[in-house]
């Protein structure tokens, strides 16, 4: 059929109108597009350094690894003190608490279709302590019989590590001593299974520089698999079609955005690029509290801000001085006015609610008692007190806390504390080797058991930067760490808390919180003390609409 000039003009006019209307149509934001397509856009803080579970030690990476890999167990979303089956469908614990037998699910599959077997877990648990791999959290596996000796080179035979299999579906762990929180540890990323054939095919089983975690080579067994990973671009996960619950996994993709600037991430959220953020600028909290309280999530998190006191220092070795420094601090004001992110004042080393523990012994004395103790120690009104230094790692927030403490001790005790900041690696080395008097510190536990916090003061612990030594404390801790009965264990924790507050080798300041923005379209979000997100449980729906 021939087309005349008039018809062609008419067609051109119609196309022009269509293009104009298309151009005028508002472009959907990432959030709105994500709702339509079940694609979640997550603020993840920084560019991931690794996706190797046995080499990682960072939280931003852990959030991704948790979606890629299946652990034996998972925390109950309604009660993080309890664990539920995941890669294992059940387990048995021997009467002496030294052997755990896991019965694996038989429908577990790797993202290439291979079955997940007990050998995958056995090999991964040995890989944690492979000396050549250089895993920074290998010490978490030390409670396993033979693991520490193998990691330190005392034994060179991997068969001496206390993990074994009995056929394809039974995996056993043998401990060197009972460990009540073992199941909680097994939920964390170092203890997931990894796919040995693909690792060996792409660089080697113990090669720390192996490229096996790149797109196209990473084989995983969790609800998602790696789709794309380009530096400084969103890392993309897609549904793993071989995962046992793939049909019930609502989110089709997850895009982890590496935005290390808090302000930039905040703008990305406000312009519809993110469904949730990794944090919130402190300066914006009051605005969000007033204008978007339903999107602002401030929730307690397991973890502690505290101060290390070098107990080998000539003046600071006196517990009266250490208690004076601790009692002078108004923790409520410090949390509200300086930390400013909803932190709760820490009045004991053991965190309330952690593993069900509720501390009885807490800091109740104030500045008057602090001044009395300092006078008792020979420094009335601060007279004659030598200049000591407070060490912190470089950051604006740490500087603000340091200056606030400096002012408090000058005002309440009449003493001058010099401030010194160092870059992160130098700071860690200074604190570890005792080149400080007072130093900032923090700890985010891997498990919901207080044993991790009390370990900070054990004389043999690599985390005991206060250099405090108390044989009674050590013996009490050792009994608590091996006590399987929760009531009896908590009674021992009370004794540990009492000894810490009597001697004050560390000074508790505040318990952690998590602060972030979550878009109303995110369905199934649950704040919890572990900040365990488990994104495969989520779905997206327009606000007010059923998912």
Q: Is 118 helix (H, G, I), strand (E, B) or coil?
A: helix
Name the nearest CA neighbour of 166 among 100, 258, 112.
Answer: 100
Asked whether residue 105 is assigned to any structural domain, the reply reads yes
Asked whether residue 15 is assigned to any structural domain, the reply reads no
Q: What is the pLDDT of residues 297-333, one digit of tens each?
A: 998 888 899 999 999 999 999 999 999 999 999 999 9
Report pLDDT for 356: 86
Asked whether residue 3 is assigned to any structural domain, the reply reads no
Instruction: Give the chain's end-to-end CA distance (angstroms, integer).
Output: 50
Asked whether residue 19 is assigned to any structural domain, the reply reads no
pTM score: 0.80
Do 375 and 284 share a domain, yes or no? no
Residue after which a domain boundary falls, among 187, 218, 249: 218
Do 354 and 491 share a domain, yes or no? yes
Do 36 and 51 share a domain, yes or no? no
What's the CATH number where 101 sits?
Answer: 3.90.76.10
Do 40 and 53 share a domain, yes or no? no
Cβ proximity of 193 and 184 under 8 Å: no
- The number of domains in the chain is 3
Do 321 and 372 share a domain, yes or no? yes
Name the nearest CA neighbour of 307 among 377, 210, 406.
Answer: 406
Do 169 and 260 share a domain, yes or no? no
Do 116 and 158 share a domain, yes or no? yes
Name the nearest CA neighbour of 307 among 439, 413, 191, 202.
Answer: 439
Do 283 and 358 share a domain, yes or no? no
Q: CA-based angle 84:89:94, to the nearest 5? A: 85
Report the distance separating Cα 365 and Cα 162, nearest Å: 48
Report pLDDT for 545: 66
Cβ proximity of 311 and 457 under 8 Å: no
Helix, strand, coil proportions of the chain in percent (round to 5)?
Answer: 35, 20, 45
Report the distance separating Cα 494 and Cα 420, nearest Å: 35
Report pLDDT for 2: 46
Do 184 and 102 share a domain, yes or no? yes
Asked whether residue 547 is assigned to any structural domain, the reply reads yes
Burial class (CB in 10 A: 0-12, 13-18, 19+), 227: middle
Asked whether residue 144 is assigned to any structural domain, the reply reads yes
Question: Where would I find the H helices in 95-232?
Answer: 118-128, 147-151, 182-185, 196-201
Tens of pLDDT along the chain (547 residues)? 444 555 545 555 555 544 444 444 456 789 999 999 999 999 998 788 899 999 987 788 899 999 999 999 998 877 777 899 999 999 999 999 999 999 999 999 999 999 999 999 999 999 999 999 988 788 889 999 999 999 999 999 999 999 999 999 999 999 999 998 899 899 999 999 999 999 999 989 999 999 999 999 999 999 999 999 998 899 999 999 999 999 999 999 999 999 988 899 999 999 999 999 998 988 899 899 999 999 999 988 888 999 999 999 999 999 999 999 999 999 999 998 888 888 889 999 999 988 889 999 999 999 999 999 999 999 999 999 999 999 998 877 789 899 999 999 999 999 999 999 998 778 888 998 999 999 999 888 888 888 889 999 999 887 899 999 999 999 999 999 888 899 999 999 999 999 999 999 999 999 998 899 999 999 999 888 888 888 999 999 998 665 5
Do 257 and 123 share a domain, yes or no? no
Do 39 and 188 share a domain, yes or no? no
Cβ proximity of 226 and 253 under 8 Å: no
Phi-psi label, residue 352: left if phi above 0, alpha if psi -120 to 50, beta otherwise: beta
Asked whether residue 233 is assigned to any structural domain, the reply reads no
What's the CATH number where 544 sits?
Answer: 3.40.190.10
Asked whether residue 5 is assigned to any structural domain, the reply reads no
Name the nearest CA neighbour of 236 among 68, 356, 95, 350.
Answer: 68
Report pLDDT for 482: 85
Structural tokens at position 496: 């540990």
**The CA-based dihedral angle spanning residues 343, 344, 348, 352, taken in that order and rounded to the nearest 10 degrees:** -110
Report pLDDT for 28: 76
Cβ proximity of 441 and 307 under 8 Å: yes
Domain ranges, residue 120 = 47-218
Structural tokens at position 509: 């300041």
Do 474 and 525 share a domain, yes or no? no
What's the CATH number where 438 sits?
Answer: 3.10.105.10
Report pLDDT for 235: 97
């Amino acid at each position: 059929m021939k087309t005349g000039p008039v018809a062609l003009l008419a067609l051109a006019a119609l196309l022009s109108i269509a293009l104009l209307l298309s151009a005028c149509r508002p472009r959907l934001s990432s959030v709105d597009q994500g709702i339509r397509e079940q694609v979640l856009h997550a603020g993840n803080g920084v560019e991931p350094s690794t996706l190797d579970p046995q080499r990682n030690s960072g939280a931003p990476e852990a959030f991704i690894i948790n979606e890629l890999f299946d652990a034996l167990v998972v925390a109950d979303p309604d009660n993080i003190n309890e664990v539920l089956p995941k890669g294992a469908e059940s387990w048995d614990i021997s009467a002496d608490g030294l052997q755990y037998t896991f019965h694996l699910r038989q429908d577990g599959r790797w993202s290439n279709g291979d079955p997940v077997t007990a050998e995958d877990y056995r090999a991964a648990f040995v890989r944690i302590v492979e000396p050549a791999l250089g895993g920074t959290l290998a010490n978490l596996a030390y409670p396993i019989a033979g693991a520490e000796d193998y990691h330190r080179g005392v034994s060179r035979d991997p068969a001496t590590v206390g993990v074994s299999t009995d056929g394809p579906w039974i995996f056993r762990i043998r401990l060197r001593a009972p460990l009540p929180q073992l199941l909680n540890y097994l939920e964390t990323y170092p203890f997931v299974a990894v796919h040995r054939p693909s690792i060996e095919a792409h660089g080697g089983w113990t090669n720390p520089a192996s490229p096996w975690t790149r797109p196209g080579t990473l084989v995983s067994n969790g609800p998602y698999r790696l789709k794309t990973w380009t530096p400084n671009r969103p890392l993309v996960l897609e549904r793993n079609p071989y995962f046992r619950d793939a049909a019930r996994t609502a989110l089709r993709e997850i895009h982890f955005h590496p935005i290390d600037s808090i302000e930039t991430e905040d703008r990305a959220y406000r312009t519809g690029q993110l469904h949730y953020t990794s944090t919130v600028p402190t300066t914006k909290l009051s605005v969000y509290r007033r204008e978007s309280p339903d999107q602002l999530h401030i929730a307690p998190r397991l973890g502690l801000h505290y101060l290390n006191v070098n107990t080998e220092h000539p003046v600071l070795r006196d517990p009266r001085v250490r208690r004076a420094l601790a009692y002078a601090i108004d923790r409520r004001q410090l949390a509200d006015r300086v930390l400013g992110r909803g932190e709760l004042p820490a009045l004991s080393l053991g965190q309330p609610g952690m593993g069900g523990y509720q501390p009885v012994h807490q800091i109740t004395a104030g500045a008057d008692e602090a001044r009395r103790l300092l006078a008792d120690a020979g420094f009335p009104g601060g007279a004659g007190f030598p200049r000591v230094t407070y060490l912190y790692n470089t950051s604006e927030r740490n500087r603000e806390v340091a200056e606030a403490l400096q002012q408090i001790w000058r005002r309440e005790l009449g003493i001058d504390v010099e401030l010194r900041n160092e870059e992160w690696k130098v700071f860690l080395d200074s604190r570890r080797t005792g080149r400080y008097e007072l130093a900032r510190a923090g700890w985010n536990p891997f498990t919901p058991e207080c044993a991790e916090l009390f370990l900070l003061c054990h004389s043999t612990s690599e985390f005991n930067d206060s250099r405090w030594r108390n044989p009674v404390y050590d013996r009490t801790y050792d009994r608590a760490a091996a006590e399987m009965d929760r009531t009896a264990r908590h009674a021992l924790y009370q004794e540990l808390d009492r000894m810490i507050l009597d001697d004050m080798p560390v000074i508790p300041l505040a318990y952690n919180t998590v602060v972030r923005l979550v878009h109303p379209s995110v369905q199934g979000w649950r704040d919890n003390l572990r900040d365990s997100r488990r994104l495969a449980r989520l779905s997206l729906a327009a606000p007010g609409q059923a998912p």
